[in-house]
Chain A
Amino acid sequence: MIEVKNLRKSFEDKEVLKGISTVFESGKTNLIIGQSGSGKTVFLKCLTGLIIPTEGEILFHGKNFSKFSYEEKQKLRSEIGTVFQGSALFDSMTVIENVRFPLEMFSNLSMKEMNMRSEEVLERVNLLPESFHKFPSEISGGMQKRVAIARAVVNNPKYLFADEPNSGLDPQTAMVIDQLLHELTVEYNTTTIINTHDMNSVLEIGESIVFLKNGIKEWHGDKTQILTTDNESAIEFVYSSKLFTKLREVLLKEKENSSKK
């Protein structure tokens, strides 16, 4: 579980995060949603320790990250898996070398054991063995995302972060990636936090959703609550497409009918 208390972040005189407090639970896919520029990426980078907050606390299972020593921070980071927006695979390494990398750096496993574990997670993300020895530039964007997920979970992390894992992917592949992240969350009981502005992901795997607007937490709920919320900013965000506007009309009518009954 990750608890955030009054998190603030400013860049020079511009305040990007304005006192966010929330809780991300273990074994759930927690989503951070919001429009571009709402502070999602800065928030996620604060959680992963890439950006130091100006004010506030981030508690990993009750322990304040900012008060950790260098060694404690390094230890915690070895328990974190991160999927970056652009995959961030090491382009000088093959697929299997990328996935094996965290094990080579932080485990005492033999090369045989590391290879077995890497192949196991690569198969878990549905990658075929013929792609194991290819370089990232030789595989598709969807496959790169899957390799990035495999690399993030190879160490059995306690915390899994993903920054817009679906960006640039077709809807079908995006759905596969969403399902994969959800399954891995349940399987390994990780505290998963996904940064997205894809409404399909929200409806697919949004067990806990934090909606940000201009650096403020505007709304918190789950995928069923977000469709019928009264929060105007959330409505504006969710129903930015005609399809969802239509859906909202249907849902509100249903709600009205059921309340009449």
Chain B
Amino acid sequence: MRKVFIKPQGGKMFRKLVMREIWDLGMSSIGLVSFISLFMGAVTAIQMAQNFQGADIPVPDYYIAYATKVVLILEFSPTIISLILAGKVGSYIASSIGTMRVTEQIDALDVMGVNSPSFLVMPKIIASVLFNPILIMISIGMGIWGGYLIGETTHMWSKSDYIIGLQMPMANRLFFYTFVKTICFAFVIATVPAFYGYHVKGGSLEVGRSSTSAVVWTSVILIILNLILTQTILS
């Protein structure tokens, strides 16, 4: 782990790698994140509407949008999207580094005098920490838009109520909480699968196994970290 954070060698090559990782880990996930968030936002808004409109005490319709927004910002986008990225990006990181290990590409780097942990893992950490907040923002935006679209389609609530609900303020520390969660999760998504990939021994079967273990353990760590961060920041 210590070797990962040693000053990277080959400046130009390193920048090139960071750009490639931003594409592989971030840009290529925009479609999936947008699709899931759009539908999940719509589902969340419908569930809120069902609960509020069927409640014993009258709840104004603009709370549908407010509750949807809060759920998306606090939990759905940072946690659920990170879990999805743990599957998509985590398996990619573990299998690509694992394949490099079993085909001696990492040995080739080491023999050349390249600090392989830093060279392979650091660009992934940088790309993930830089781009995951963007993905989470896209997710929040798409989720809110999903809620808006379903309202327009089903007429379960009015457009003006939805917009009023969205404009209701949220405490700043909630945004801070989401931001901290996103950064911590991004770090976990890049490092845990990289660790599994880097320490693969054997052949293609072990690469597959390490990829599965990486996804499982990344998810477990994310869930536990979610509880710790929530307790630490919000309580």
Complex CA gap A89/B113 in Å reads: 16
Residues facing B in A69-114 (CB within 8 A) are: 73-78, 80, 82, 84-86, 88-92, 101-102, 104-106
Q: In whole Å, how far is A57's beta carbon from the nearest beta carbon of chain B?
A: 20
> In the complex the two chains form, is B110's CB within 8 Å of A50's CB?
yes
Chain A residues with CB below 8 A from B13, complex form: 101, 104-105
Let me know if B54 is at the binding interface, CB within 8 A: no
Q: In whole Å, how far is B148's beta carbon from the nearest beta carbon of chain A?
A: 41
> In the complex the two chains form, is B107's CB within 8 Å of A84's CB?
yes
Q: In whole Å, how far is A112's beta carbon from the nearest beta carbon of chain B?
A: 14
Let me know if B108 is at the binding interface, CB within 8 A: yes
Chain B residues with CB below 8 A from A195, complex form: none
Chain A residues with CB below 8 A from B99, complex form: 91
Let me know if B51 is at the binding interface, CB within 8 A: no
Let me know if A49 is at the binding interface, CB within 8 A: yes
Complex CA gap A73/B104 in Å reads: 20
Instruction: Pick the contact of A74: B12, B103, B113 (CB < 8 A).
Output: B113
- Chain B, Cβ-Cβ closest to A73: B113
- Chain A, Cβ-Cβ closest to B106: A88
Instruction: Pick the contact of B103: A73, A78, A86 (CB < 8 A).
Output: A86
The count of chain B contact residues (Cβ–Cβ below 8 Å) is 18
Once A105-B114, A106-B113 are accepted as A-B contacts, the answer to whether A88 and B9 lie under 8 Å apart by CB is no
Chain A residues with CB below 8 A from B50, complex form: none
Let me know if A29 is at the binding interface, CB within 8 A: no
Chain B residues with CB below 8 A from A76, complex form: 113
| In the complex, per-residue mask of B1-41: 1 if CB is within 8 Å of any chain A CB, else 0 | 00000000110110000001000000000000000000000
> In the complex the two chains form, is B12's CB within 8 Å of A104's CB?
yes
Once A104-B12, A105-B9, A105-B13 are accepted as A-B contacts, the answer to whether A48 and B111 lie under 8 Å apart by CB is yes
**Counting chain B CB atoms within 10 Å of each CB, which of A50, A105, A161 scores highest?**
A105
Chain B residues with CB below 8 A from A92, complex form: 20
Q: In whole Å, how far is A41's beta carbon from the nearest beta carbon of chain B?
A: 11
| In the complex, per-residue mask of A36-53: 1 if CB is within 8 Å of any chain B CB, else 0 | 000000000000111000
Complex CA gap A57/B46 in Å reads: 72
> In the complex the two chains form, is A88's CB within 8 Å of B12's CB?
no
Q: In whole Å, how far is B110's beta carbon from the nearest beta carbon of chain A?
A: 6
- Chain B, Cβ-Cβ closest to A102: B112
Q: In whole Å, how far is B201's beta carbon from the nearest beta carbon of chain A?
A: 12
> In the complex the two chains form, is A88's CB within 8 Å of B113's CB?
no
Complex CA gap A106/B113 in Å reads: 9
Chain A residues with CB below 8 A from B12, complex form: 104
- Chain B, Cβ-Cβ closest to A77: B113
Chain B residues with CB below 8 A from A74, complex form: 113, 115
Complex CA gap A86/B105 in Å reads: 9
> In the complex the two chains form, is A77's CB within 8 Å of B103's CB?
no
Q: In whole Å, how far is A258's beta carbon from the nearest beta carbon of chain B?
A: 46
Chain A residues with CB below 8 A from B20, complex form: 92
- Chain B, Cβ-Cβ closest to A82: B111
Q: In whole Å, how far is A111's beta carbon from the nearest beta carbon of chain B?
A: 9
> In the complex the two chains form, is B10's CB within 8 Å of A50's CB?
no
Complex CA gap A74/B115 in Å reads: 9
> In the complex the two chains form, is B112's CB within 8 Å of A88's CB?
no
> In the complex the two chains form, is A77's CB within 8 Å of B105's CB?
no
> In the complex the two chains form, is A49's CB within 8 Å of B111's CB?
yes
> In the complex the two chains form, is A84's CB within 8 Å of B9's CB?
no
Complex CA gap A78/B100 in Å reads: 20
- Chain A, Cβ-Cβ closest to B20: A92
- Chain A, Cβ-Cβ closest to B111: A82
Q: In whole Å, how far is B26's beta carbon from the nearest beta carbon of chain A?
A: 17
Once A86-B103, A105-B10 are accepted as A-B contacts, the answer to whether A78 and B113 lie under 8 Å apart by CB is yes
Residues of A near any B CB (own CB < 8 A)? 48-50, 73-78, 80, 82, 84-86, 88-92, 101-102, 104-106, 161
Residues of B near any A CB (own CB < 8 A)? 9-10, 12-13, 20, 99-100, 103-105, 107-108, 110-115
Q: A105-B10, A106-B10 are in contact. List 19 more A-B contacts (CB 8 A).
A: A48-B111, A50-B111, A80-B111, A84-B107, A85-B104, A86-B103, A88-B108, A89-B105, A90-B108, A91-B99, A91-B103, A91-B105, A101-B13, A104-B10, A104-B12, A104-B13, A105-B112, A105-B113, A161-B111
Closest 9 CB pairs of A and B: A77-B113, A88-B104, A105-B10, A88-B108, A74-B113, A82-B111, A84-B104, A78-B113, A104-B13
19 A/B residue pairs, CB under 8 Å, sorted by A: A50-B107, A50-B111, A74-B113, A74-B115, A76-B113, A77-B113, A80-B112, A84-B104, A84-B108, A85-B104, A88-B103, A88-B104, A88-B107, A90-B105, A90-B108, A105-B112, A105-B114, A106-B9, A106-B10
